[in-house]
Amino acid sequence: MTTAVVEEPKRRGWRAVLLGRAEKPYVNPYVGGALLGVVLFLSFFLTGNGLGASGGLNRYVVYLQDLLAPEHVDRVAYLLKMAGGDKNPLDDYLVFMTLGTLLGGFVSGWQHGRLKFETNKGPQISVRTRWLMAFVGGAIMGYGARFARGCTSGQALSGGAVLSAGSWAFMFAVFGGGYALAYFVRRLWN
């Protein structure tokens, strides 16, 4: 009579669970674009509002400002629209949309084996320079999103979907500015 040896399952650490999945290919960009269009339609249909990211992030910042310097919030008309008194800046659909976007991106990255600790850069620059340029570019885009009253998802996708002339002008400016600047930052990738 033989006895079967039952092996205990190997314990996997958190790194293996998060980062140890097999990498799957990216979705076809046309399929991804069509899915984004469906999500945009559902956003308009279910909430009466389009997509947006910078507005949600802005509300997180205003929430912190209201915690740390409520007197300042009470003196600035722009901030008073979102906070001050008994208003909670986190009481807005964009806050939850931003959280859902972050969580959805994380889950999708995990599910498709794309969670990694890496810095994508060109061979001629350092990791530190790449991070500095990413921070500077993000700060410029954040300022531009507030200046333009919306980011590429709020202005371009949502505004463009309802044929807003300002949103179309914004997108032409984004692409034109990107092409104009690309020549000067090409060494970051070459």
- Three-state SS annotation for 106-122: HHHHHHCCCCCCCCCCC
pLDDT of residue 142: 85
Give yes or no for residue 7 having a pLDDT over 70.
no
CA distances to 4, 34, 100, 152, 177 from 103, rounded to whole Å, are: 43, 21, 5, 20, 30
Higher pLDDT, 11 or 118: 118
pLDDT at 68: 92
pLDDT at residue 5 in the model: 57
Helices of type H across the chain: 14-19, 29-47, 54-68, 70-75, 77-80, 93-111, 127-147, 160-161, 165-182
In sequence order, what are the residues at sequence separation of 6 or more whose Cβ sits closer than 8 angstroms to the Cβ of residue 115?
18, 19, 21, 106, 109
Which segment of 71-80, 93-102, 171-180, 181-190 scores lowest on mean pLDDT? 181-190
Q: Which amino acid is at 172?
A: F
Whole-number percent of the chain with pLDDT over 70: 93
Interatomic CA distance for residues 83 and 73, integer angstroms: 7
| Predicted confidence (pLDDT) per residue in 68-104, tens digit | 998 898 898 888 888 877 889 999 888 998 899 899 9
